[in-house]
Amino acid sequence: MNKKLGEYGTFILLAIIVPMAIFLSFKPTTQVKYKIGDFEFEYGGDIEGETIKIMELGNLGEPATATSPPYPPFKRYSLTSGIQAVLNEYGEVPLLPTWFPEEMKFADVYMGPVTIISFSDRKVSDFRFANITIQVKLYPNPPSLDELNKSVEYGKQQGNNDLNLVQIGDTWVVLSEKAGLGDPEVEAMFGPSPLAWFFKDNYYYIICVKSPLTPQDMIKIMESLKPANQ
């Protein structure tokens, strides 16, 4: 009896282990990794080009905290397909970071009225919950340094002391260490976060990093920005 059980047990074990091994050795295309320099990323979505529709959540039974405009639909791609989509859209690829905090494992590209490139330490439902987002829009008439300076100085005069204009490389950047995130659901998760915005080569960039990343991480990320093919 015990011998028979042993034989069946072996079969049952094999029946479990073999298909598991086959399943685990087969990686869906969405798990193929993409590299930027020494950093390797997986796609955080399920299907290339899937449409992301964000549903806005408030607290039912309580008045709204704002009359929030909705998010538009975005198409979501892996980094490699997304870079190609960006290339098709712009005719060139905007700057990408070449340095990342080690925890960043996933990278996605969202195409909508703006392009949003996101990096995160886990799979996320959409860019709102990623650790790093880089929003890009073609903007051929960028503000002058004088205009940026005025906006910061006037902001400080009105009591907004979290604004600073700094030079990173050859680019002037407006920095905020504790920017609100606009969306109650996201703000509840991360709290005020580091934000930077600047113009470079006809593109308008807004970079936001969320915890556990710090303002210092954001500056290192910005210092590492390079054209994607370099």
Partner 1 sequence: MILILPLIYSEVLLVTYQIQPAYAQGTSWYVGYFDYTPPGVAYSHPGVYGEILTIDANVPSITTNMYCEWVATILSYSPMYWVQVGYLKGAIQTWVFYSPHYYVEKMDQANTNGVSTFVPLNTSTPSAGSWHSYATRRPYYFPGESPPSYDPSEWRFYIDNMGAYVWRFFVTPYIPIDEQAFVEVYGTSQIRITGSHFRNLRFFDAQLYWYYWDRHVARADSPYTITEVSHHEFYANGGG
As measured in angstroms, the least distance from the Cβ of 230 to partner 1 is 21
Smallest gap from Cβ 72 to partner 1, in A, equals 5
Nearer to partner 1, 37 or 147 (CB): 147
Minimum CB distance to partner 1 smaller for 10 or for 167:
10
Q: Over 78-143, what HEC string results?
A: EHHHHHHHHHHHHCCCCEECCCCCCCCCEEEEEECCCEEEEEECCCCCCHHHCCEEEEEEECCCCC
Could you tell me which residues come within 8 angstroms of residue 157 by beta carbon, excluding any fewer than 6 positions away? none
Least distance in angstroms from the C-beta of 38 to partner 1? 26
Residues contacting 204, CB < 8 A, separation 6+: 136, 137, 138, 139, 142, 197
DSSP label of 201? T
Query: Taking the CB of residue 37, how many other CB atoms lie within 10 A of it?
Result: 13
Report, in Å, the least distance between residue 156 CB and partner 1. 11
Burial class (CB in 10 A: 0-12, 13-18, 19+), 183: middle
* CB closer to partner 1, 35 vs 201: 201
Minimum CB separation of residue 51 from partner 1 in Å reads 11
Query: Which CB sits closer to partner 1, 59 or 216?
Result: 59
Q: Which is nearer to partner 1, 39 or 199 (CB)?
A: 199
